[in-house]
Amino acid sequence: MFILAINFLFSKKKVEKEFVSMASMNCWIYEEDVGKMCSFLISSDGERVSGQTIPVDGNAIRLD
């Protein structure tokens, strides 16, 4: 069980590191980041935004 937990944690860190390496902003995206974008879009500041796709992904691009 301990080995399984170690493998899970290692693979999770590996996935996080790989994602961050693909993001030009070099950051991890949190749920709060998506929430902030949603809050903006439903506020009066975002009332003129329509029909757009707005990625909240740290400008991640896959190069392979």
How far out from the chain centre does Cα 21 lie? 12
Whole-model pTM: value is 0.58
Tell me if 44 sits within 8 A of 7, measured CB to CB: no
- What's the pLDDT tens digit per position in 4-59? 555 655 677 787 787 777 777 777 788 999 999 999 999 999 999 998 888 887 77
Three-state DSSP state, 63 = coil
Q: Are 22 and 62 in contact (CB under 8 A)?
A: yes
The SS3 of residue 60 is strand
Helices (runs of H) and strands (runs of E) counted in the chain: 2, 0
Greater confidence (62 vs 19) lies with 19
Write down the pLDDT at residue 37: 93
- Among 54, 58, 64, smallest CA distance to 26 is for 58
Domain ranges of the chain: 2-46
* 63 vs 48, more confident: 48
Higher per-residue confidence, 64 vs 60 = 60
